[in-house]
Amino acid sequence: MSRLVVAGLGYCGSAVARQAAAAGWAVQGTARDPARAAAPAGAAVVPFDAAGPAIAAATHLLVTAAPGEAGTR
């Protein structure tokens, strides 16, 4: 089974996670604040500082970059 870890479940990361989960992949993703994160259907949120085991088990890794505080780079 393909296992995807998305480092950053923001707008783009969530879109990819949703598509991968719909295609039958096992999906986990990180968020700055896991308590406030809304994981896409079929995906699980893991705290960024506890993502090591998920990354080690992943077949694929997507790293997204969040915008700056003003919404831009």
Enclosing H/E stretch for 29: strand 26-31
CB neighbours (10 Å) of residue 37? 17
Task: Please tell me the predicted confidence (pLDDT) of residue 28.
Answer: 97
In the chain, where the domains are located: 3-63
CB 21 within 8 A of CB 45: no
Task: Please tell me the predicted confidence (pLDDT) of residue 37.
Answer: 82
Q: What is the pLDDT of residues 13-72, one digit of tens each?
A: 999 999 999 999 999 999 878 888 888 999 999 998 889 999 999 999 999 987 777 766
Alpha carbon 29 to its chain centroid, in Å, reads 2
